Amino acid sequence: MMKMYVKHTCMTIGLLCLSPVNAEIVPFDPNSWEFNNEATVTIGEYQGQSSVLSISNGIAVVTGSAFTNGTIEYDVYNSSEGVEYAGAIWHVQDLQNFEAVHTRNNRNNTPYAVHYYPFNNNIGSSQLYYGQGHNAATNLPLDQWSHVKIVISGNSGELFINDMTTPILLIENLVGGFGSGQVGLFGNYNVENTVHYANFDYQPSDTPPALVGIPEEFVAEAGVINTWSVSEPFAAEVELQGYELTPENRQNHTFTTLVADRDGKTNLARLQPMPQDQKTVFARAYVNSNVEQMKKFSIGFTGEIDLYLNGKRVYAANDTAGSRDHAFLGSSGYVDHLYLPLVPGNNEIWAAITGSSTGWGVLGKFDDMTNLAILDTPTAPVTPCAGTYDIVANQIHLPCVSIGDGSIYDVTLGQDAAGNYQLLPEATLIRAGQ
C-alpha cells in the first residue's frame, strides 16, 4: 500500500479546516486502490482540491489495507443536484461483502441523510436495517466540501460531520458479521451520478478506541423469533402455487439454520447470493402452543412475502420501494400485524421472502407469549402429547400428532396381528381441536 505523509496548509471553507495537520493521506492513484469492474473513475482537480477521486457506480478499496478498529476520515463534496450515496466501507472481505455508511444529499434533513448497513453477497441491506443505530437526520452543507470522521470500536461506531463534537450517528451494533478486513470508499454503487472525495485517511488501532457516544444497554424482547431455518433460493412464480404448501415445497429444499441479529432482524443474504432468476427463499420457524388460541404476530420483511401457518397461506404483502406510494422506501420493522390461529402442540410458520438488491430479510415476534413457546430448531419437532389407552381394545388415541405436513391431527392407533401399533383402517385423520 502506497501512502504519503504530508503537512497540509489548512484550507478554510466557512469555519471548516478540511484537512488535519500531519494527516496520513492515502493518495488517489491506481497503485493504492482497487475498484469494482463497473466503476467509472477519474482522478484530478475538483472544486479547489488538487487530488480528487471522482467515482460513480463504484466501490474503491485501499490495496493491502487491514482494519479492525480505528478511524476513517475523508472530505466529500455534497452537490445540490443529482443523487449521491457517499461514504466509507470497512471490514471489507471482497467487493461484495463489507460494512458501509453513506450520506445522501437528496435526503437532506430526513432520517435517510445518514445510513449504516452491511453488504452481504452483494446485497446492501438498507431496507432491512433502518431505525435506531442505523439512520440519522442531518443538514448536509450543499455545493461545498464536508469533512466526515468515522470511529469504529469493537462492535460499535460513530460518525461526525464537519466540526461536530457529538456524533450524528451512533452505530450501536455492527451487523455484517465480518470482524476485520480492508477499508475504502463507497461511491454511488449502482447509481450513475458521480461522487467526489479528497483527503482520505484511515488510522487502524490495536485496541478499540473510546467513543463519545455510549450505546444504550440492549434488552432483548420476549416473543422474538431468533432462529429461522432457511432454504436455498428458488423462483417464486414457479413454486408458489395455490393457497397451501405442497409436498414438493417440503421435499425439494435443503434448510440451513440462521440466527437473527439481537433485535430479531434476520439477514438472509448472509447465507447465500441471490441468483437473478431465483430471488425467493423459505424461512421457517416453529412455535408450541399449550392450547388452541389466536395470537397477534408482528412481521417485518424486505421485498415481498407469502406467509403460511401449518401449511396454509394466511398473509401476503409487498414492501418494495414505491409499492405503497411514490415516497415509500420499503424500510422494514415490526409494523405489519396479523392474527394466527394456533392449534395445540407444534405449529410451523413458513415465510416465502422475495428480496432485492436493497434487502433480503425477515423478522417476526409474538406480542404475548402466554401458553406459547418459540422452538429454536431447524427441523420439524416431534410433538409429545397425552392421550388415552383402551386396554380392552388395545387402542391408543392421541390428539396432537404431526405426520409431517404441518398439520396436527387426532388419531387412533390399534395393534395389528403382530402386536405393532398402526393407524386403524376405519380411523379418520381429524385436525386437533376441530
Place of cell 396479523: 338
Quick: pLDDT tens for 217-252: 888 889 999 999 999 999 999 999 889 999 889 888
Average pLDDT over residues 372-397: 71
Distance CA 43, CA 29 (A): 8
| pLDDT above 90 as % of the chain | 67
Distance CA 231, CA 284 (A): 9
Quick: pLDDT tens for 148-171: 999 999 999 999 999 999 999 999
Task: For residue 17, name the pLDDT band (cuts at 50, 70, 90).
Answer: very low
Phi and psi at 238, nearest 5°, equal -90, -40
Average pLDDT over residues 71-87: 94
The pLDDT of residue 172 is 95
Q: Is the pLDDT of residue 416 over 90?
A: no
Half-sphere exposure of 91 (CA within 13 A, CB side): 26
Q: Cell numbers at residue 163, please? A: 466540526
Q: Is the pLDDT of residue 145 over 70?
A: yes
The pLDDT of residue 247 is 86
Quick: pLDDT tens for 172-199: 999 999 989 999 999 888 788 899 999 9
Average pLDDT over residues 313-335: 80
> pTM (2 decimals)?
0.81
Average pLDDT over residues 319-330: 72
The pLDDT of residue 429 is 63
Phi and psi at 285, nearest 5°, equal -145, 160
Distance CA 119, CA 125 (A): 6
How high is the mean pLDDT of the chain?
Answer: 87
Average pLDDT over residues 92-115: 94
The pLDDT of residue 126 is 93
Q: Is the pLDDT of residue 22 over 50?
A: no
Q: Are 59 and 122 in contact (CB under 8 A)?
A: no
Better-scored residue on pLDDT, 304 or 189: 304
Distance CA 231, CA 352 (A): 10
Place of cell 485517511: 201
Task: For residue 124, name the pLDDT band (cuts at 50, 70, 90).
Answer: very high
Q: Is the pLDDT of residue 20 over 60?
A: no
Q: Using alpha carbons only, what angle is made at residue 159 by residues 188 and 265, rounded to the nearest 5 degrees?
A: 75
Pairing mode, strands 304-309 and 345-354? antiparallel
Average pLDDT over residues 260-281: 96
Q: Using alpha carbons only, what angle is made at residue 202 by residues 24 and 163, rounded to the nearest 5 degrees?
A: 90
